[in-house]
Amino acid sequence: MPERNNDTERCSPKEASCRCPPGSVCSVEAVLSVDERGQMVLPKDVRKKAGIRPGDRLALITWEKDGEVCCLALMKAEGLDDMVKRVLGPLMDETE
């Protein structure tokens, strides 16, 4: 059973159906409903905590297990840009 810490669950790769990186902290921030058009609303307190403002772009990341999506995550698109630049930047410099 995962260790608990104030409503926050530490994910253990052996115990989680979707693997979290070792030592990461997984927590349930909110439960969202999906309407008939497929839209969801991020609660105001979650947007504030994450620094998400109107017009911000979010990247949807999925994890698959046994051919089915088992986990979804959102991150600011600017963070994704930075991550791609860190990974691909050195490769791009080598080809010039």
* pTM value > 0.75: no
What's the pLDDT tens digit per position in 29-76?
Answer: 899 999 999 999 999 999 999 999 999 999 888 889 899 998 888 888
Q: Which fold has domain 4-95?
A: Pemi-like Protein 1; Chain: D (2.10.260)
pLDDT band at 77 (very low <50, low <70, confident <90, very high): confident
Query: What distance in Å separates the CA atoms of residue 58 and residue 88, rounded to the nearest whole number?
Result: 20
Q: Where are the domains of the chain?
A: 4-95
Got the DSSP string for 26-67? EE--------TTS-----HHHHHHHT--TT--EEEEEEEETT
